[in-house]
Chain A
């Protein structure tokens, strides 16, 4: 059973999606039950994978039983295990929220949700670049439909731009893969790492291919010139969908981190690929997001800008291929994912209680739900990095890990200034939403307490406290994951089994 642990995070959502399609005729209750059981199983399976991966071995699962580099393999190290656990927990909370009624606003919500989880998990687990493309497309195709779920002109508008941009991105991804295969003759990540270090490769096309690959990941991660789609798309999506989308920018970031640490940084031909341009762009992304957040007029827009700010913060990390920077980034990534997802859900809960002003930062009726204000306070404080929450610890770890880098002054000033702007934006917005009452709206609409929605919000807000309380074990695990990530030799021998592959030279 242990040997099949690597495929479980993929099989569970996939089988659930098929079962849900088959069970369509039995009503939405059955689909919900299947989805929630699959989500719980997914969390259990990925938690098990996290524990298994802690022995430091790279678990390789050969799909179709062809050994790497000939067949497609899944490779599970600590980083992949953390990311699949994060995705599974986020998906479980979002699904719990959606099953309180959001799933009935369109068709086929449940199978698409499971397929999106399937694509996300696959993108984190795969050890093959073309397979990564396939899982990206699975994830994107499901996300296109989920984005439009619920209908409305705003969603169609955001959806069209999002689909077209990502189709262009996919074309670029394929060009990068074609060039990589044309020059190196392989698409397995470990084998690419070996081939890049081999003497006699064609350096110029290999560098170009690697750069195109980074550009595609930067599009998914929303690096500044490629990030204008994100605020519109995330703000237009329904709350549980937006909550799940938060992890999608992280797919791009983790992909950059992984290809950089395993393949590009150890090879002389591509070691300086990210130097000089990624750091200024990432810092510009953070500033752009902070200014956007100040200008946001609704809580959901503000949250979308927060997602962009955390993406920019994390995009600084691949520039410094050191284990302590990556470890801090992993901790920061976990808390920022949960907190942003929680804020999307809170935005919708606030919106339905405030009638026609919704979640716009305008004076409105008094909210009858103090727990919602408390949840907002916790999530917002963690998002901007106020002590004693996890956001503060994450930012502190990241800043202190970057202290000795040459550009520490620029990074520190941008992060701290952007943090101040975000705090202003959230304080202004929160004050308007929860405190300012308008005489026109004496009473907000009362809503019956819904345990699914409340539990989902509680589950997503609680990491802000739990990750701070259990900061030591979590950051230790992140440190071990980062150390493993920056030890590409172990990954390569783990995947390829240490035997050299003979190749014909091609014309």
Chain B
């Protein structure tokens, strides 16, 4: 499972960085979203990967670390808000310059 998760994180990061380097706003937003997925998976894995273990501490039962799950939840919410704002800003840039280039050039 470690191999699978690390390949998934690596693939998501690579795609995210590739898309972010396209100088257009829509691929940029997609790239940032993919990157945040990769980061969330990475954060999730920082509490060690365990199968079939609840994030609750009980006597004698095996459990998984609940803290990274809380961190991921926070990161997801923040990332969602940021992406929503970025979409609005990109739309504004598009309507003001008539172009979806990230440099927001003047209208011809």
Contacts and interface: CB of A to CB of B under 8 A. Distances in A.
A24 interface: no
A229 to B, nearest CB: 13
A507 to B, nearest CB: 6
Interface in B78-97: 78-79, 81-82, 85-86, 89-90, 92-93, 96-97
Interface string A164-203: 1001101100110111011000000000000000000000
B104 interface: yes
B79 to A, nearest CB: 8
B46 A163 contact: no
Contacts of B103: 157
B35 A171 contact: yes
Contacts of A174: 39-40, 42-43, 75
A160 B46 contact: no
Interface stretch (A141-149, A475-483, A490-498): A141-149
Q: Which of A159, A171, A177, A181 has the most CB of B within 10 A?
A: A171
Interface string B57-82: 00000000001100100110011011
A236 to B, nearest CB: 11
Nearest to A137: B78
Contacts, number: 89
A144 B86 CA distance: 9
A130 interface: yes
A271 interface: no
A175 B74 contact: no
Interface residues of B, number: 36
Contacts of B38: 171
Q: Is the interface of B mostly helix, strand, loop or mixed?
A: helix
B46 A182 contact: yes
Contacts of A506: 48
A134 interface: yes
Contact-residue bracket for chain A: 20 to 34
B46 A181 contact: yes
Interface in B21-48: 25, 28, 32, 35-36, 38-40, 42-43, 45-48
A179 B78 contact: no
Contact of B102 (A145, A164, A179, A181): A164
A16 to B, nearest CB: 21
A153 interface: yes
A178 B46 contact: yes
Best-surrounded residue of A148, A167, A181 (most CB of chain B within 10 A)? A167
Which of A144, A160, A181, A507: most chain B Cβ within 10 A? A160
A264 to B, nearest CB: 20
Contacts of B93: 156-157, 160
A18 interface: no
Contacts of B46: 178-179, 181-182
B42 A175 contact: yes
Contacts of A171: 32, 35-36, 38-39
B6 to A, nearest CB: 13
Given A144-B89, A163-B89, A175-B42, A507 B48 contact: yes
A178 B70 CA distance: 12
B32 A167 contact: yes
A175 B32 CA distance: 14
A391 to B, nearest CB: 36
A101 B81 CA distance: 29
A156 B99 CA distance: 13
A202 to B, nearest CB: 13
A161 interface: yes
Contacts of A134: 74, 78
Given A144-B89, A153-B97, A160-B104, A168 B35 contact: yes
Contacts of A182: 45-48
A160 B90 CA distance: 7
A160 B25 CA distance: 9
Contacts of A148: 89, 92
A159 B39 CA distance: 24
B92 A156 contact: yes
18 contacts: A153-B104, A156-B104, A157-B93, A160-B25, A167-B32, A170-B78, A171-B36, A174-B39, A174-B40, A175-B39, A175-B42, A177-B43, A178-B42, A178-B45, A178-B71, A181-B43, A182-B45, A507-B48
Interface of B: 20, 25, 28, 32, 35-36, 38-40, 42-43, 45-48, 67-68, 71, 74-75, 78-79, 81-82, 85-86, 89-90, 92-93, 96-97, 102-104, 106
Return the 3 tightest CB-CB contacts between A and B, nearest first.
A182-B46, A157-B104, A178-B46
Interface of A: 130, 134, 137, 141, 144-145, 148, 153, 156-157, 159-161, 163-164, 167-168, 170-171, 174-175, 177-179, 181-182, 506-507
